[in-house]
Structure 1
Amino acid sequence: MVQRRIPKIQDLAPLMQFKTPELNAKKRRLDAALTIYDLRDIAKKRTPRAAFDYTDGAAEAELSLGRARQAFEDIEFNPSILRDVSTVNTGWDVLGAPVAQPFGIAPTGFTRMMQTEGETAGAHAAARAGIPFSLSTMGTTSIEDVKAANPDGRNWFQLYMWKDRDRSMALVDRAAKAGFDTLLVTVDVPVAGARLRDKRNGFSIPPALTAGTVLNALPRPEWWINFLTTEPLAFASLDRWSGTVADLLDTMFDPTVTFEDLAWIKAQWPGKIVVKGVQTVADAKRLVDLGVDGIILSNHGGRQLDRAPIPFHLLPQVVREVGSEMEVHLDTGIMSGADVVASVALGARFTLVGRAYLYGLMAGGEAGVDRAIAILSEQVSRTMRLLGVNSLEELEPGHVTQLTRLSRIAAEAPAPASVVL
């Protein structure tokens, strides 16, 4: 028989401690977000559909994005046991200077459309975290204002080569004079990808007000108040545009850019130069010959060519072929610190996060970006400890097994020509 008794007050007291309620609604909702997907859920509730879908969506059937995320889910970690992991070091040198984490903020376009604090919030948060911040040619904050927001940190400028070459290089000159240390030259946008969510939403700059837009905005008054009561949307690279995003891209971007043009750009940039959008081993090898400092394996977040190669799958082979010659970085599909650790284990020197950062921005402005970085940082540290490593240098391919869901079918060799005797 179980012996029962009347509980004593002193026994109940430790069980009845109530948590002090958080009165700040923003802090309360951000504290409740434990993953980047949690931030995405908050962002979706607080952002009008057209702006949210511009961030969340990809090209055509969005297969590339789905496959990139699935690739990270389809891994198996192989931990070592009985290691002293009381301390871990999550930083090392990237492109000749230190970073506190093996990830940074990717360049994103139209950022103030997502949330009015835009790139300034990202630059401030990056400065606090000790990670690089990348400004896009299509960003909505000027080069000089980003530098002012992150005066002592690492700022990178992402360049799209325009048909107007003089205008493109004027931006490069401004970034150099402002002290940006790295130029990211994006090479996978000869034309705009078919981003069908944007077309269906009628997404344009500035936003077009339709009956559907207004109805969708009614439960999101804070976004509209911020949008209408702050400085009109302007760009790092141009003052105004009236039309769809795809029209803007196709008007500006130059489909004639070649490796020779890239060499010309490199000759004019005083800092480190990284080529973003590499998707084949052959192109990676050719860029070694060009003498760039690094490449970013990326399919533009699935926003350009749908069914493009999965960067995470491509990573081990590219590292084997060119990793000793230049740094190999990675983006597309990263939604957790475990994804970052897996990338480093397979040879990536650095990773970039775009949507993960924007989900935080949309969820809570600058505080939301801080929360996104904190979530990723905590996951990086915890994953390293659970793998039994103290530093990024200790991560190696044996820590990760890539499980097979999609596999390539080898192309058949052509039949030998018949010989007539």
Structure 2
Amino acid sequence: MKPASMSDYRERARRRLPPMFFEYIDGGSYAEETLRRNVRDLEAIALRQRVMRDMSKVDLSTTLFGQTLSMPLALAPVGMAGMYAARGEVQAARAAAGAGVPFCLSTVGVCSIEEVAAAGTPPWFQLYMLKDRGYMRDLITRAKDAGCPVLVFTVDLPIPGARYRDVRSGFTGLSGLPAAINTLWQGATHPAWSWDLFTQGRPHTLGSVQAAVQGGGRVNDFLAWIARNFDRSVTWKDLDFVREIWDGPIVIKGVLDPDDARDAVRAGAQGLVVSNHGGRQLDGVSSSIAALPRIADAVGGDLEILMDGGIRSGLDVLKALSLGARACLVGRPWAWALGAGGEAMVSRMLGVMRSELTTAMILTGCTTAARANADMLDVAAPQNLSP
């Protein structure tokens, strides 16, 4: 049976992937309240159905940072996605290019900047600020030399949130079973995944930063490296350092507060992503969709606003556009699709999103995605959203 909805891709990924990798992408932090809010608050928003309008022509395209997107969607950065299918970031990037939307490569992707760029369209590059500024300079320069058009600077991870599922699954090596034995056992009990990854996908390192991670091929090396190198001292002044090297658009990812959004404008950013890291950082905070209207009101005329967190359908995309986003980033849906069946499944997932968005636009009387506004909603502002 072919997957029809994002929940179908999730279920296929759950069956195919070892638990440690499925739970890593599927889970959130602490009690996962914010993870649930992201989805629940989007579900609470009602679209406004309109009829008897000429909807023979519907334009899903939009323009972001000089790029024309076939629909207002981009694949969000997902760490270690190359463990979901052989050369996973390359497969997802090819699917995104085929669909006419951007792919954003994580700093901690398995495939390097150069490998993904060589596979087709250069990706957007997501940046974490590390303590070693010399290494950061080299990393940003590599992204620039590879032709990456946009730098997405993630600012909401000075320290990782506590993710209990990763402990229980053995991802962190703290489950009680030795990490190497746990990985071998989980791989052996998921032979389709193992065959795909270990006959076609080696080596498995953090491609863009492998020189900085001692060992580089083990999950515990990755986690220890994060603990040592993610910089808690970063402030808005550090954007000056980035700008010395990078002369393209900079997008600040991880903003939930209007005051922080105003700071991003003052710091010279060209865009921001309203995001709570998919509910993977500070639990108990606002959903992204609840924070979006406040930020759009504060800085909507000053930079491009994107949103991620909880997007599970094309209908959700229209809701976000209606509340002030220019486009949405989707993370878990493409990771689930990649885990379910590689590039072909990611392409199919993007086709589902396109179809759902088209239907939602037609039935709300929205002829142009770039001009979606609150008229597409049953009320002018979201109601019953989590505080």
Asked if structure 1 preserves the Cα contact closer than 8 Å seen for 2:290 and 2:386, the reply is no
Measured against aligned partners, the alpha-carbon deviations of 1:181-219 in whole angstroms (never above 9, x if no partner) come to 1000000011111111111222159x9343x65565455
Q: Tell me the equivalent position of 1:201.
A: 169
| Rounded Cα–Cα distance in structure 2 between residues aligned with 1:141 and 1:327 | 28
How many equivalent residue pairs? 374
Asked if structure 2 preserves the Cα contact closer than 8 Å seen for 1:117 and 1:365, the reply is no
Structure 1 position 132, deviation (Å):
0.5
Q: Tell me the equivalent position of 1:85.
A: 55
Task: Name the CA shift for 1:395/1:249 in 2 (closer, same or farther; >3 Å).
Answer: same
Structure 1 position 288, deviation (Å):
1.1
Match of 1:112 among 75, 82, 88: 82
Q: Tell me the equivalent position of 2:210.
A: 238
Measured against aligned partners, the alpha-carbon deviations of 1:208-252 in whole angstroms (never above 9, x if no partner) come to 343x65565455201112233231211221244341654332122
Q: Tell me the equivalent position of 1:133.
A: 103
Measured against aligned partners, the alpha-carbon deviations of 1:268-291 in whole angstroms (never above 9, x if no partner) come to 211111000011000001111112
| Rounded Cα–Cα distance in structure 1 between residues aligned with 2:259 and 2:302 | 14
User: Which shifted more, 106-115 or 195-204?
Assistant: 195-204
What TM-score, normalized by structure 1, do the two folds share?
A: 0.85
Q: Which runs of 5+ in 1 are unaligned?
A: 1-28, 409-421
| Rounded Cα–Cα distance in structure 1 between residues aligned with 2:252 and 2:40 | 25
Match of 2:148 among 180, 185, 190: 180
Matches within 5 A, 1:141-160: 141-150=111-120, 153=121, 155-160=123-128
User: Which shifted more, 293-302 or 72-81?
Assistant: 72-81
Structure 1 position 121, deviation (Å):
0.5
Structure 1 position 113, deviation (Å):
1.4
Asked if structure 1 preserves the Cα contact closer than 8 Å seen for 2:116 and 2:122, the reply is no
Task: Name the CA shift for 1:350/1:393 in 2 (closer, same or farther; >3 Å).
Answer: closer
| Rounded Cα–Cα distance in structure 1 between residues aligned with 2:225 and 2:161 | 12
Q: Tell me the equivalent position of 2:307.
A: 330
> In the alignment, residue 234 of structure 1 is paired with which amino acid?
T
Q: Tell me the equivalent position of 1:162.
A: 130
> In the alignment, residue 179 of structure 1 is paired with which amino acid?
G
Match of 2:45 among 46, 61, 75: 75
Structure 1 position 264, deviation (Å):
2.1
Across the aligned residues of Structure 1 and Structure 2, the Cα RMSD in angstroms comes to 1.8
Measured against aligned partners, the alpha-carbon deviations of 1:308-364 in whole angstroms (never above 9, x if no partner) come to 221111111111110011111100111111111111111101110110000100011
> In the alignment, residue 258 of structure 2 is paired with which amino acid?
V
Measured against aligned partners, the alpha-carbon deviations of 1:123-168 in whole angstroms (never above 9, x if no partner) come to 1001111101101110111111111112xx3520000000111111
Match of 1:320 among 291, 297, 310: 297
Structure 1 position 407, deviation (Å):
5.0
Asked if structure 2 preserves the Cα contact closer than 8 Å seen for 1:203 and 1:245, the reply is no
Q: Which runs of 5+ in 2 are unaligned?
A: none
Match of 1:124 among 76, 91, 94: 94
Match of 2:348 among 345, 368, 371: 371
Matches within 5 A, 1:13-412: 29=1, 32-150=2-120, 153=121, 155-204=123-172, 208-210=179-181, 216-229=186-199, 230-235=201-206, 236-239=208-211, 240-241=215-216, 242=218, 243=220, 245-400=222-377, 401=379, 404-408=383-387
> In the alignment, residue 232 of structure 1 is paired with which amino acid?
P
User: Which shifted more, 308-317 or 359-368?
Assistant: 308-317
Asked if structure 2 preserves the Cα contact closer than 8 Å seen for 1:202 and 1:244, the reply is no
| Rounded Cα–Cα distance in structure 2 between residues aligned with 1:223 and 1:393 | 39
Asked if structure 2 preserves the Cα contact closer than 8 Å seen for 1:90 and 1:381, the reply is yes
| Rounded Cα–Cα distance in structure 1 between residues aligned with 2:253 and 2:382 | 26
Structure 2 SS opposite 1:276: strand
| Rounded Cα–Cα distance in structure 2 between residues aligned with 1:324 and 1:357 | 30
Asked if structure 2 preserves the Cα contact closer than 8 Å seen for 1:204 and 1:245, the reply is no
Structure 1 SS opposite 2:57: coil
Asked if structure 2 preserves the Cα contact closer than 8 Å seen for 1:299 and 1:311, the reply is yes
Q: Tell me the equivalent position of 1:9.
A: none
Report which of the two structures shows the higher radius of gyration computed on alpha carbons: 1
Structure 2 SS opposite 1:318: helix
Task: Name the CA shift for 1:377/1:270 in 2 (closer, same or farther; >3 Å).
Answer: same
| Rounded Cα–Cα distance in structure 1 between residues aligned with 2:318 and 2:232 | 35
